[in-house]
A and B are shown apart, each in its own frame.
Chain A
Amino acid sequence: MNEFERRWKLGATAARADGDAPPPVAPFGFATRAVAAWQSAPVPALATLWQHLAWRALGGVALALAALLAIDAALSTQDDPLTADLGNTVSELFWLQE
Protein backbone atom coordinates (compact mmCIF):
# COMPACT_ATOMS: atom_id res chain seq x y z
CA MET A 1 0.00 0.00 0.00
CA ASN A 2 1.50 3.35 -0.99
CA GLU A 3 1.37 6.53 1.06
CA PHE A 4 -1.67 7.93 -0.77
CA GLU A 5 -3.64 4.73 -0.23
CA ARG A 6 -2.75 4.72 3.47
CA ARG A 7 -3.91 8.32 3.86
CA TRP A 8 -7.00 7.74 1.74
CA LYS A 9 -7.96 4.84 4.00
CA LEU A 10 -7.64 7.15 7.03
CA GLY A 11 -9.92 9.66 5.29
CA ALA A 12 -12.41 6.92 4.44
CA THR A 13 -12.45 5.79 8.07
CA ALA A 14 -13.13 9.36 9.23
CA ALA A 15 -15.85 9.75 6.57
CA ARG A 16 -17.50 6.56 7.78
CA ALA A 17 -17.54 7.88 11.32
CA ASP A 18 -19.46 10.90 10.06
CA GLY A 19 -22.07 8.70 8.47
CA ASP A 20 -22.74 6.60 11.60
CA ALA A 21 -26.33 7.72 12.07
CA PRO A 22 -29.36 5.59 12.95
CA PRO A 23 -31.13 4.27 9.86
CA PRO A 24 -33.70 6.77 8.66
CA VAL A 25 -37.37 5.98 8.36
CA ALA A 26 -39.24 6.73 5.16
CA PRO A 27 -40.50 10.33 5.03
CA PHE A 28 -44.22 10.80 5.47
CA GLY A 29 -46.05 9.88 2.25
CA PHE A 30 -43.01 8.38 0.53
CA ALA A 31 -44.35 4.82 0.54
CA THR A 32 -47.72 5.99 -0.82
CA ARG A 33 -46.02 7.96 -3.61
CA ALA A 34 -43.72 5.07 -4.53
CA VAL A 35 -46.58 2.56 -4.67
CA ALA A 36 -48.79 4.96 -6.66
CA ALA A 37 -45.96 5.53 -9.15
CA TRP A 38 -45.52 1.78 -9.57
CA GLN A 39 -49.22 1.13 -10.03
CA SER A 40 -49.64 3.94 -12.54
CA ALA A 41 -46.57 2.95 -14.57
CA PRO A 42 -47.65 1.84 -18.05
CA VAL A 43 -47.36 -1.84 -18.88
CA PRO A 44 -44.86 -2.24 -21.73
CA ALA A 45 -46.68 -2.32 -25.06
CA LEU A 46 -46.50 -5.37 -27.32
CA ALA A 47 -44.52 -3.34 -29.87
CA THR A 48 -41.93 -2.46 -27.19
CA LEU A 49 -41.60 -6.11 -26.23
CA TRP A 50 -41.21 -7.06 -29.89
CA GLN A 51 -38.51 -4.42 -30.36
CA HIS A 52 -36.73 -5.80 -27.32
CA LEU A 53 -36.91 -9.38 -28.51
CA ALA A 54 -36.38 -8.72 -32.22
CA TRP A 55 -32.64 -8.16 -31.78
CA ARG A 56 -32.29 -11.53 -30.10
CA ALA A 57 -34.33 -13.19 -32.82
CA LEU A 58 -32.18 -11.52 -35.48
CA GLY A 59 -29.04 -12.64 -33.68
CA GLY A 60 -30.33 -16.22 -33.60
CA VAL A 61 -31.16 -16.19 -37.31
CA ALA A 62 -27.74 -14.73 -38.14
CA LEU A 63 -26.04 -17.47 -36.12
CA ALA A 64 -28.08 -20.18 -37.84
CA LEU A 65 -27.27 -18.69 -41.24
CA ALA A 66 -23.58 -18.55 -40.45
CA ALA A 67 -23.65 -22.18 -39.30
CA LEU A 68 -25.41 -23.27 -42.50
CA LEU A 69 -22.90 -21.39 -44.64
CA ALA A 70 -20.04 -23.00 -42.77
CA ILE A 71 -21.51 -26.47 -43.25
CA ASP A 72 -22.13 -25.76 -46.93
CA ALA A 73 -18.57 -24.53 -47.42
CA ALA A 74 -17.20 -27.61 -45.67
CA LEU A 75 -19.28 -29.97 -47.83
CA SER A 76 -18.48 -28.22 -51.11
CA THR A 77 -14.77 -28.83 -50.60
CA GLN A 78 -15.29 -32.58 -50.33
CA ASP A 79 -15.36 -34.74 -53.44
CA ASP A 80 -18.76 -36.10 -54.26
CA PRO A 81 -18.27 -39.24 -56.36
CA LEU A 82 -22.01 -39.71 -56.93
CA THR A 83 -22.42 -36.48 -58.85
CA ALA A 84 -20.04 -37.44 -61.67
CA ASP A 85 -21.51 -40.93 -62.05
CA LEU A 86 -25.02 -39.65 -62.13
CA GLY A 87 -24.05 -37.01 -64.69
CA ASN A 88 -22.38 -39.68 -66.86
CA THR A 89 -25.39 -41.97 -66.65
CA VAL A 90 -27.77 -39.23 -67.71
CA SER A 91 -25.58 -38.18 -70.61
CA GLU A 92 -25.10 -41.79 -71.72
CA LEU A 93 -28.84 -42.38 -71.65
CA PHE A 94 -29.34 -39.20 -73.65
CA TRP A 95 -26.86 -40.29 -76.34
CA LEU A 96 -28.16 -43.84 -76.47
CA GLN A 97 -31.66 -42.59 -77.13
CA GLU A 98 -30.39 -40.63 -80.08
Chain B
Amino acid sequence: MSPPAFDVPACLVQVRLGDADAARALVEHLYPLVIKIVRSHRPRRTAEEDLAQEVFMKLFSRLDQYHGRDGVPLEHWVSRVAVTTCLDALRSERRRPEWRWADLGEGERAWVEFFVGEEPAPAPSDTHSAREATDRLLSLLAPDDRLVITLLDLEERSVAEISTLTGWGHSAVKVRAFRARQKLRKHALQLRKESKL
Protein backbone atom coordinates (compact mmCIF):
# COMPACT_ATOMS: atom_id res chain seq x y z
CA MET B 1 0.00 0.00 0.00
CA SER B 2 1.47 3.36 -1.03
CA PRO B 3 1.65 6.19 1.52
CA PRO B 4 -1.10 8.84 1.25
CA ALA B 5 -0.26 11.81 -0.98
CA PHE B 6 0.97 14.89 0.84
CA ASP B 7 -1.87 17.40 1.14
CA VAL B 8 -0.08 20.64 0.29
CA PRO B 9 -3.01 23.10 0.60
CA ALA B 10 -4.06 21.73 4.00
CA CYS B 11 -0.48 21.83 5.21
CA LEU B 12 -0.05 25.45 4.05
CA VAL B 13 -3.16 26.49 5.97
CA GLN B 14 -1.72 24.99 9.14
CA VAL B 15 1.72 26.54 8.58
CA ARG B 16 0.15 29.97 8.10
CA LEU B 17 -1.52 29.50 11.47
CA GLY B 18 1.91 28.88 13.00
CA ASP B 19 1.65 25.10 13.40
CA ALA B 20 5.21 23.84 13.92
CA ASP B 21 4.34 20.21 13.14
CA ALA B 22 2.86 21.18 9.79
CA ALA B 23 5.94 23.33 9.07
CA ARG B 24 8.23 20.38 9.83
CA ALA B 25 6.15 18.16 7.53
CA LEU B 26 6.43 20.77 4.79
CA VAL B 27 10.21 20.90 5.21
CA GLU B 28 10.44 17.10 4.96
CA HIS B 29 8.24 17.18 1.85
CA LEU B 30 10.18 19.92 0.06
CA TYR B 31 13.69 18.95 1.18
CA PRO B 32 14.58 16.74 -1.86
CA LEU B 33 13.62 19.55 -4.25
CA VAL B 34 15.42 22.27 -2.29
CA ILE B 35 18.61 20.30 -1.65
CA LYS B 36 18.89 19.38 -5.33
CA ILE B 37 18.82 23.05 -6.31
CA VAL B 38 21.15 24.03 -3.48
CA ARG B 39 23.70 21.36 -4.45
CA SER B 40 23.73 22.55 -8.05
CA HIS B 41 24.03 26.25 -7.34
CA ARG B 42 25.66 26.83 -3.96
CA PRO B 43 29.02 28.58 -3.64
CA ARG B 44 31.76 26.01 -2.99
CA ARG B 45 32.56 27.45 0.43
CA THR B 46 28.99 27.46 1.73
CA ALA B 47 27.63 24.41 3.55
CA GLU B 48 24.63 23.00 1.72
CA GLU B 49 22.61 22.56 4.92
CA ASP B 50 23.10 26.21 5.90
CA LEU B 51 21.93 27.38 2.50
CA ALA B 52 18.99 24.95 2.51
CA GLN B 53 17.96 26.29 5.91
CA GLU B 54 18.13 29.84 4.54
CA VAL B 55 15.86 28.79 1.68
CA PHE B 56 13.30 27.37 4.11
CA MET B 57 13.41 30.49 6.26
CA LYS B 58 12.66 32.59 3.19
CA LEU B 59 9.87 30.23 2.19
CA PHE B 60 8.18 30.50 5.55
CA SER B 61 8.59 34.25 5.82
CA ARG B 62 7.20 34.80 2.30
CA LEU B 63 4.48 32.18 2.42
CA ASP B 64 1.82 34.90 2.25
CA GLN B 65 3.10 35.76 -1.23
CA TYR B 66 2.23 32.31 -2.54
CA HIS B 67 -1.34 31.87 -3.77
CA GLY B 68 -2.06 28.41 -5.11
CA ARG B 69 -5.26 29.67 -6.68
CA ASP B 70 -3.46 31.29 -9.62
CA GLY B 71 -2.43 27.82 -10.80
CA VAL B 72 1.25 27.96 -9.90
CA PRO B 73 2.24 24.70 -8.18
CA LEU B 74 4.01 25.15 -4.86
CA GLU B 75 7.08 23.37 -6.24
CA HIS B 76 7.54 26.02 -8.95
CA TRP B 77 7.36 28.83 -6.44
CA VAL B 78 9.75 27.00 -4.10
CA SER B 79 12.20 26.40 -6.97
CA ARG B 80 12.19 30.08 -7.76
CA VAL B 81 12.85 31.07 -4.15
CA ALA B 82 15.62 28.46 -3.90
CA VAL B 83 17.30 29.60 -7.12
CA THR B 84 17.23 33.28 -6.16
CA THR B 85 18.56 32.47 -2.67
CA CYS B 86 21.46 30.55 -4.21
CA LEU B 87 22.08 33.36 -6.67
CA ASP B 88 22.23 35.86 -3.79
CA ALA B 89 24.69 33.56 -1.99
CA LEU B 90 26.86 33.33 -5.10
CA ARG B 91 26.77 37.09 -5.58
CA SER B 92 27.78 37.69 -1.96
CA GLU B 93 30.92 35.59 -2.36
CA ARG B 94 33.74 38.03 -1.94
CA ARG B 95 36.02 36.26 -4.35
CA ARG B 96 35.57 33.51 -6.80
CA PRO B 97 37.97 30.58 -6.35
CA GLU B 98 41.15 30.43 -8.38
CA TRP B 99 42.17 27.01 -9.61
CA ARG B 100 45.55 25.89 -10.78
CA TRP B 101 46.32 22.89 -12.93
CA ALA B 102 47.91 21.25 -9.87
CA ASP B 103 44.56 21.40 -8.02
CA LEU B 104 42.94 19.13 -10.57
CA GLY B 105 42.87 15.35 -10.28
CA GLU B 106 43.88 13.09 -13.17
CA GLY B 107 40.30 12.57 -14.31
CA GLU B 108 39.49 16.27 -14.20
CA ARG B 109 42.60 17.09 -16.23
CA ALA B 110 41.53 14.59 -18.85
CA TRP B 111 38.15 16.32 -19.13
CA VAL B 112 39.65 19.82 -19.35
CA GLU B 113 42.06 18.58 -22.05
CA PHE B 114 39.11 17.11 -23.87
CA PHE B 115 37.05 20.31 -23.65
CA VAL B 116 39.71 22.46 -25.28
CA GLY B 117 41.14 19.83 -27.61
CA GLU B 118 40.84 20.28 -31.35
CA GLU B 119 41.99 16.88 -32.55
CA PRO B 120 39.31 14.18 -32.75
CA ALA B 121 39.33 12.30 -29.47
CA PRO B 122 36.87 10.17 -27.52
CA ALA B 123 35.36 11.72 -24.39
CA PRO B 124 36.77 10.41 -21.09
CA SER B 125 34.46 7.88 -19.48
CA ASP B 126 34.73 8.87 -15.80
CA THR B 127 31.43 10.55 -14.95
CA HIS B 128 32.51 11.56 -11.45
CA SER B 129 35.51 13.44 -12.86
CA ALA B 130 33.20 15.03 -15.41
CA ARG B 131 31.09 16.35 -12.54
CA GLU B 132 34.19 17.64 -10.72
CA ALA B 133 35.64 19.28 -13.83
CA THR B 134 32.39 20.97 -14.86
CA ASP B 135 31.76 22.18 -11.28
CA ARG B 136 35.28 23.56 -11.09
CA LEU B 137 35.02 25.43 -14.37
CA LEU B 138 31.56 26.72 -13.49
CA SER B 139 32.83 28.07 -10.18
CA LEU B 140 35.11 30.41 -12.16
CA LEU B 141 32.16 32.11 -13.82
CA ALA B 142 30.20 35.12 -12.59
CA PRO B 143 27.10 34.05 -10.59
CA ASP B 144 24.54 34.81 -13.31
CA ASP B 145 26.61 33.03 -15.97
CA ARG B 146 27.10 30.02 -13.74
CA LEU B 147 23.41 29.84 -12.99
CA VAL B 148 22.33 29.93 -16.62
CA ILE B 149 24.81 27.24 -17.72
CA THR B 150 23.94 24.97 -14.80
CA LEU B 151 20.24 25.24 -15.52
CA LEU B 152 20.59 24.92 -19.29
CA ASP B 153 23.36 22.35 -19.73
CA LEU B 154 23.52 20.37 -16.50
CA GLU B 155 19.86 20.34 -15.56
CA GLU B 156 18.58 20.45 -19.14
CA ARG B 157 15.96 23.09 -18.36
CA SER B 158 14.31 24.88 -21.24
CA VAL B 159 14.84 28.58 -21.94
CA ALA B 160 11.23 29.20 -20.94
CA GLU B 161 11.73 27.46 -17.59
CA ILE B 162 14.90 29.43 -16.89
CA SER B 163 13.07 32.60 -17.79
CA THR B 164 10.36 31.76 -15.25
CA LEU B 165 12.86 30.82 -12.55
CA THR B 166 15.08 33.85 -12.92
CA GLY B 167 12.79 36.53 -14.30
CA TRP B 168 15.16 37.13 -17.26
CA GLY B 169 13.75 37.40 -20.79
CA HIS B 170 14.19 34.55 -23.29
CA SER B 171 16.75 36.35 -25.41
CA ALA B 172 18.66 37.47 -22.31
CA VAL B 173 18.95 33.82 -21.27
CA LYS B 174 20.23 32.77 -24.71
CA VAL B 175 22.73 35.62 -24.99
CA ARG B 176 24.01 35.05 -21.45
CA ALA B 177 24.44 31.32 -22.10
CA PHE B 178 26.35 31.98 -25.32
CA ARG B 179 28.71 34.41 -23.61
CA ALA B 180 29.10 32.17 -20.57
CA ARG B 181 30.21 29.23 -22.74
CA GLN B 182 32.79 31.49 -24.37
CA LYS B 183 34.09 32.39 -20.92
CA LEU B 184 34.15 28.72 -19.91
CA ARG B 185 36.33 27.97 -22.92
CA LYS B 186 38.63 30.83 -21.97
CA HIS B 187 39.00 29.52 -18.41
CA ALA B 188 39.62 25.97 -19.62
CA LEU B 189 42.26 27.21 -22.05
CA GLN B 190 43.89 29.24 -19.28
CA LEU B 191 44.01 26.18 -17.03
CA ARG B 192 45.52 23.99 -19.73
CA LYS B 193 48.05 26.68 -20.58
CA GLU B 194 49.40 26.31 -17.05
CA SER B 195 49.99 22.63 -17.64
CA LYS B 196 52.36 23.47 -20.47
CA LEU B 197 54.49 25.83 -18.37
Binding site for B on A (CB under 8 A): 3-5, 7-12, 14-19, 23-27, 30-35, 37-39, 41
Residues of B within 8 A of A18 (CB): 127-128, 130-131
Residues of A within 8 A of B126 (CB): 14
A30 near B153: Cβ-Cβ < 8 Å: no
B46 at the interface (CB under 8 A from A): no
15 contacts between A and B (CB under 8 A): A4-B115, A7-B123, A9-B153, A10-B123, A11-B130, A12-B154, A14-B111, A14-B123, A17-B127, A17-B130, A24-B32, A27-B49, A31-B25, A33-B53, A41-B57
Residues of A within 8 A of B128 (CB): 18
- How far, in angstroms, from A11 to B25 measured CA to CA in the complex? 37
B11 at the interface (CB under 8 A from A): no
- Of B52, B125, B135, which is in contact with the most chain A CB atoms at under 10 Å from its CB? B52
B53 near A11: Cβ-Cβ < 8 Å: no
Residues of A within 8 A of B156 (CB): 16
A7 near B31: Cβ-Cβ < 8 Å: no
Binding site for A on B (CB under 8 A): 18, 20, 23-25, 27-28, 31-33, 35-36, 49, 52-53, 56-57, 60-61, 111, 114-118, 123-128, 130-131, 133-135, 153-156, 181, 184-185, 188
Checking A23, A24, A26, A38 against B60 with a beta-carbon cut-off of 8 angstroms, the contacting residue is A38
- Of A11, A19, A37, which is in contact with the most chain B CB atoms at under 10 Å from its CB? A11
Checking A12, A23, A32 against B153 with a beta-carbon cut-off of 8 angstroms, the contacting residue is A12
B35 near A24: Cβ-Cβ < 8 Å: yes
A11-B117 contact, Cβ under 8 Å, with A23-B36, A30-B27, A41-B57:
no
Checking A7, A17, A35 against B115 with a beta-carbon cut-off of 8 angstroms, the contacting residue is A7
Complex: chain A residue closest to B63, CB-CB:
A38
- Of A3, A8, A9, A18, which is in contact with the most chain B CB atoms at under 10 Å from its CB? A8
B127 near A15: Cβ-Cβ < 8 Å: yes
- How far, in angstroms, from A12 to B18 measured CA to CA in the complex? 42
- Of A4, A9, A18, which is in contact with the most chain B CB atoms at under 10 Å from its CB? A4
B131 near A19: Cβ-Cβ < 8 Å: yes
A7 near B32: Cβ-Cβ < 8 Å: no
